[in-house]
Chain A
Amino acid sequence: MGAPASTRCCIETLTAHTTLQSGMSDTPVDTDEVEHIAQLARIDLDEDERELFAEQFGDILSSFEALDDVPEVEREPELTNVMRPDEIAESFDREDALANAPETEDDQFKGPNVS
């Protein structure tokens, strides 16, 4: 792909800068692992996608390894819950709330059969 020389120069600078090395893959990811994640995420993938993602995830996850250099930082103080009593307010009627559902039955969302 025809990246202009100027852009290439910059990305290399950025790369060195963030301790990334393009093409480096300390975290190899294979297609079985991609398939496992895809199942957790409920997204089917075809064979080409599995192979492409395995290659790209190796590079991307390697770049995330740089986070290991982050020092411990004192985080903000503990958050506290703010409570209030429930109040009944105006809301959608069923028809509006279901208007975008792909399928409905008896004023309810209709999902696939439980097999």
Chain B
Amino acid sequence: MSYNGYITETRIDGSDDGPLAGRSIAVKDNISTEGVPTTCGSAMLESYVPPFDATVVERLKQAGATIPGKTNMDEFGMGTTTETSAFGATENPVAQGHVPGGSSGGSAAVVAAGDADMALGTDTGGSVRCPAAFCGVVGLKPTYGLVSRYGLVAYANSLEQIGPIAPSVEEAAELLDVIAGPDERDATTRDATEHGETAYAAAADGDVDGMDIGIPTELVEGADKAVREQFWRAIDELEAEGASYHEVSLPSVEHAVEAYYVIAMSEASSNLARFDGVRYGVSGGYDGNWNETFATAREEGFGPEVKRRVLLGTYALSAGYHDKYYKKAQDARAWVKQDFDEALEEADVLASPTMPVPPFERGESLDDPLKMYLADANTTPVNLANLPAISVPAGETDDGLPVGMQFVGPAFGETDIIRAGSAL
């Protein structure tokens, strides 16, 4: 079965030895690779070849990894299904007829299919955790500032992080050990050693004895019955290993999806302005009024979901609407952050289903963007709060569809969520 996991298959060799020697790490196609096309899943960048490596790619190569290719993705990371790619949809290799999740669907698919040992994805509102959950693998979204975004083609800078996808928690943590750490080329990176434990792979010891798990009721109640059953079964398993749990309420998360989309679309409308057919992208060779020329190039280069988000972001920032949408969304973001910080004062980690639904059937959500956005209810709050989260496999529905369990930790508390995830 060809599931269309890669946009470009190649072979980029790393150094001879290092912690990742002999291992293949696929890279999402919005992360720059020197001399190898980086399309972001967009016709706009079909022939774009970066003249430099992203910091994470440099670190993979130094660690001895081989990069087998650039993985398929929703166009510019905008999607939950990997169906908006200009290079065709990716199919879920472990659930035929279903989507692999998105936007890092190609990265999760190549790992689930065994075509790469591990992969890098990017997570703006759940784009690492969602495909990990839908493909039955592990995906980790780091604390904002733990991993350099230098060389990542920006969609919504204030929300996104590059994160590892792997078959096991320990392997995901090993990959995080390689890519984490400050970078002078990304001023938002922080030195995590000043904030806590940073030996990530070593934290995958499965020791949850005495761990206190908070369960935000809002993130469980809204989920499908089949998902909830697997979630509670996993909680039972953790209890049997010595963890305890209590329920918490996070009223703010009911506004997270709206806040997330307003902020992400607003940032996207600004970030994607550079794709004008002059500096980057397809030009078509039109002459005449600059604005009209740009508008023609952008009509041809962008797909429908990108147009939708750039337009809605433009609207949210336009005169008369800024206070109504953007400013309110920033208030909601502060509220979500405060709710999570308070809940994490009383718990080591928070747990919820990663996705409230099992993988969609292919084509199911394409005609109804709002339905697709609502599926991000459990993942987007974490990006708004800048916190780390991991998705680990937690069984299957009766129909054999993968279910993912999400653990959220305090800022720079990656070792807590790795420890919790490794116990399942």
Residues of A within 8 A of B (CB): 1-4, 6-7, 9-11, 13-15, 17-20, 22, 34, 37-46, 49, 53, 56-57, 59-61, 63-64, 66-76, 92, 96-97, 99-103, 109-115
Contacts and interface: CB of A to CB of B under 8 A. Distances in A.
Contacts of B373: 60, 63
Contacts of A37: 311, 314-315, 318
B311 A1 contact: no
B115 interface: no
Contacts, number: 195
B332 interface: yes
A109 B225 CA distance: 56
A45 B300 CA distance: 10
Nearest to B321: A61
Contact of A102 (B222, B283, B314, B369): B283
A2 B365 CA distance: 10
Contacts of B288: 112-113, 115
Interface in B252-296: 252, 254-255, 257-259, 261-262, 269, 273, 276-283, 285-291, 293-296
Contacts of B218: 17
A111 B277 CA distance: 8
B278 A4 contact: no
B377 interface: yes
B224 A109 contact: no
A53 B49 CA distance: 32
B311 A60 contact: no
A73 B335 contact: yes
B312 interface: yes
A4 B225 CA distance: 13
Interface residues of B, number: 82
Given A40-B314, A67-B329, A73 B255 contact: no
B419 interface: no
A28 to B, nearest CB: 14
Contact of A67 (B262, B279, B302, B334): B262
A17 B222 contact: yes
B299 A45 contact: yes
Contacts of B318: 37, 40
B43 interface: no
A18 B254 contact: yes
B400 interface: no
B331 A44 contact: no
A47 to B, nearest CB: 13
Interface stretch (B13-21, B101-109, B356-364): B356-364
A64 B371 contact: no
B325 interface: yes
Contacts of A109: 278-279
